[in-house]
Amino acid sequence: MSTPLQVYEPFRAGLPKLGKYWKSLWFRRTFISEYSKSELREQHFDSVFGQLWLVLNPLLLSGVYFILIVIIGGTTDSARYVHLTATLFLFYLVANSLTGGVKSITAGQRLILNTAFPRIMLPISAVVIALFKFLPTLIVFLIIKSIVGSSFSFEMLWAIPVLMITIFLALGLAITISCINVYFRDIASFLPYLTRTLLYLSPILYEASALNPNLKALQVVNPLFPILDSWSRALVHGEVPQTSSMLQGLAWATGIFFIGTYFFLSREREFAVRL
């Protein structure tokens, strides 16, 4: 029995057969998990000090911002620190997805040139890695919340759907930027500046309720704004997030995911030539 041949047509031929493509991706879910774990081991995140740095990095950053904004500003507010920590941890989930996703295709050049597999596995693995890095910070946040005496409530469970929306958004962003980087390699160099700008434009150093009315446009053009606001309302204040914010965040995540995925799949078969 002859070995079946797999033919890769030019990207102009359009999308691959999606049913067969997603089925092939699902069969390789174990590979995605093991590939993500191997990348974490390579970055030494399987060690105690590696996992400790996952927590210390955003924790120290939130401490610096707390000193600059709250203490030097003349007030001491423990709730402000809880807000800073909670939103920074979630922001780093998205930021790490972007950082890992931007070079996921170009870094996997040898794998792409020598193996037939759905290329979208690589940016998905970047998001899985970012999620593994994020999970330990949740435990640290709960400890901080307990130490400062912030109350716990059932409304905090609203953070679960907010987290699902965030992962969906991070996946769409990682897929999109990984494809763009194949054509425009300089975007990887600009990414740190883009993520830092996004940090300042998001309700992290401030709460959404304190935003100047003249800057309300930030709530519309920033996909992270409604998500981080909902995250803070649920985890920090124990409130039910606004339905409009949840829907706005879901709309951003859905739009970016489908547009980015279409862009990725329609050009996936050209990656080998570009690399």
Alpha-carbon distance 241 to 250, whole Å?
Answer: 13
Residue 11: the pLDDT is: 46
Q: Is residue 36 classed as helix, strand or coil in its secondary structure?
A: helix
Six-digit token pair at 236?
């920090």
Alpha-carbon distance 66 to 82, whole Å?
Answer: 10
- Looking at per-residue pLDDT, the higher value among 243 and 48 belongs to 243
The residue-averaged pLDDT of 162-180 equals 95
Judged against a pLDDT cut of 70, whether residue 260 lies above it is answered with: yes
According to DSSP, residue 47 is labeled S
| 216 confidence band (pLDDT: 50, 70, 90) | confident
Alpha-carbon distance 218 to 249, whole Å?
Answer: 13
Judged against a pLDDT cut of 50, whether residue 210 lies above it is answered with: yes
Tell which residue, 197, 160, 176, 138, has the closest CA to residue 252.
176
CA distances to 159, 226, 249 from 219, rounded to whole Å, are: 19, 7, 10
Judged against a pLDDT cut of 90, whether residue 41 lies above it is answered with: no
According to DSSP, residue 241 is labeled P
User: Any residues with CB less than 8 A from the CB of 169 and at least 6 apart, and which?
Assistant: 94, 223, 224, 227, 249, 252, 253, 256, 257
Distance, first Cα to last Cα, the chain:
34
| 161 confidence band (pLDDT: 50, 70, 90) | very high
Global confidence as pTM: 0.85
- Looking at per-residue pLDDT, the higher value among 39 and 131 belongs to 131
- Scanning 149-242, the segments in alpha helix (DSSP H) are 159-183, 187-201, 218-221, 224-235
**Least confident window among 62-76, 101-115, 239-253:** 62-76
Report CA 56 to chain centroid distance, whole Å. Answer: 19
Alpha-carbon distance 54 to 138, whole Å?
Answer: 11
- Looking at per-residue pLDDT, the higher value among 135 and 15 belongs to 135
Question: Which helix (H) or strand (E) is 222 found in, with range?
Answer: none
- Looking at per-residue pLDDT, the higher value among 271 and 157 belongs to 157
The residue-averaged pLDDT of 240-263 equals 93
| 43 confidence band (pLDDT: 50, 70, 90) | low
The residue-averaged pLDDT of 221-235 equals 92
Judged against a pLDDT cut of 80, whether residue 104 lies above it is answered with: yes
Residue 171: the pLDDT is: 95
How buried is 120 (Cβ within 10 angstroms: 0-12 exposed, 13-18 middle, 19+ buried)? buried
User: Any residues with CB less than 8 A from the CB of 134 and at least 6 apart, and which?
Assistant: 89, 90, 92, 93, 96
Residue that is written with structure tokens 């194949």 in the block: 182
- Looking at per-residue pLDDT, the higher value among 78 and 151 belongs to 151
